[in-house]
Amino acid sequence: MIKFSIIIPVYNTAKYLHRCINSCINQTYNNIEIICIDDYSNDNSKEILKQFQKNDTRIKCFFHSKNKSQFIARRTGIENSIGDYILFLDSDDYLNLNACALLKNEIQKTSPDIIQFDSLEVPSNKKRFLPFYNTSKACLEAYLDKENRCSPIVWIKAYARSVIIEAYKSMDDFYASGSEDLYTSIVISFYAKTFGYLKKPLINYSVTTGWTRKREYSLEIYKQWLTSYHTVIVKINEFIAKNIPELKDKCLGMELYLLKDFLFNRIPSDIPKELKFQFFDILPSYFSKEVIYDYFEETIQKSNKYNTYLDFNGSFKSKTKKILKVVLLYIKSLFKLDTIHDRACNKISVNGYTT
């Protein structure tokens, strides 16, 4: 019988733990183990986990002596697992009660290295159907695309144990506070040979409880996040260069995707103006200047008829295409870029920068 290891990193999510763990305990298919890793929580998560472990022999709990990040917590879970297939579950989400039963039935047909499934957003009950690619090459190219055409989320897939073990041997430990799923998914997909897809929502994703909804206004927090993103970019570049050098040129697309992800998901729209200026001052220390430039150029070009309001160290309000080059020149100067794309427009001057 196929055994599933459900790995649950936990950090200050006591409010949601009962719902999450009960969704595992009450699976209609019971050949499972539930591995919970408390990453040095400062709420009562640890006490809740100990009580669950006491009441169900399928539950194994591990407690980090310091906060190490979700990336390391998952590794702790993998190293202490014995299942044939591994599932990752965030502690504020929960499984459908027949998730493992449906996965077992599908896995028995073809024994894929990776099997992807759908999710359900709660509380809206909106189904999320993410792109599926059935070869390693297609997955890797999609992950490296600037639009990230293949979702890097690790909790919408079940993984064969042999592939997970091989992948994690290839990944170094580091403190990750964002974007680590992309690194993990790229490495796992490299080692996977067969892929399956179960077109059913098996997991309930809580859209109101994750980090993307939190408002943070500390420059130090931004630096921590940016360090994580930068480390992921470096790790992916190193892995691709070593194992798939023919895809090395596509890594700039991956970096552009991560920049977009950071700006859209990490920066609140109502961030104080002074902090916004400080943030943009440090951004080139973590992302390549060419990628930053390409992002702003793309953003301006996509705006409706070039009506643009760009607010960082200054404001640009434009009614015509003429402003584009001046804005880009300003960005070039701000980030000390050596090159700038040519634009056909009339001579115009803003804040001292003249086309």
Judged against a pLDDT cut of 80, whether residue 308 lies above it is answered with no
Task: Tell me the pLDDT band of 218, cut-offs 50, 70 and 90.
Answer: confident
Judged against a pLDDT cut of 60, whether residue 168 lies above it is answered with yes
Nearest alpha-carbon partner for 37 in 89, 86, 82: 89
Decide if 278 is inside a domain. no
* Whether residue 166 sits in one domain with residue 62: yes
CATH code assigned at 168: 3.90.550.10
What is the full DSSP assignment across 256-323?
A: HHHHHHHHHHTS-TT--HHHHHHHHHHGGGTS-HHHHHHHHHHHHHHSGGG--EEESSSEEE-SSTTH
Decide if 116 is inside a domain. yes
pTM above 0.75, yes or no: yes
Judged against a pLDDT cut of 50, whether residue 221 lies above it is answered with yes
Decide if 247 is inside a domain. no
pLDDT given for residue 329 in this prediction: 56
**Residue where a domain terminates, one of 210, 235, 264:** 210
**Could you give the CA distance from residue 344 to residue 342 in angstroms, rounded to a whole number?**
7
- Given a contact cutoff of 8 angstroms between Cβ atoms, the answer to whether 93 and 6 are in contact is no
* Whether residue 180 sits in one domain with residue 93: yes
Decide if 171 is inside a domain. yes
Decide if 293 is inside a domain. yes
Decide if 54 is inside a domain. yes
Element (H, E) at 165: helix 161-169
Q: How many C-beta atoms surround the C-beta of residue 110 within 10 A?
A: 10
**Residue where a domain terminates, one of 210, 229, 246:** 210
* Whether residue 203 sits in one domain with residue 66: yes
pLDDT given for residue 302 in this prediction: 63
The whole domain housing 120 covers 4-210
* Whether residue 131 sits in one domain with residue 12: yes
Decide if 242 is inside a domain. no
Q: 345 phi and psi, to 5 degrees? A: -160, 165
pLDDT given for residue 334 in this prediction: 53
* Whether residue 297 sits in one domain with residue 192: no
**Residue where a domain terminates, one of 169, 185, 210:** 210
Task: Tell me the pLDDT band of 325, cut-offs 50, 70 and 90.
Answer: low
Structure-block tokens of residue 158: 């079940």
pLDDT tens-digit series, residues 69-102: 999 999 999 999 999 999 999 999 999 999 999 9
* Whether residue 293 sits in one domain with residue 160: no
pLDDT tens-digit series, residues 276-296: 778 878 888 999 988 987 887
The radius of gyration of the chain from alpha carbons, rounded to an integer in Å, stands at 22
Number of domains the chain contains: 2
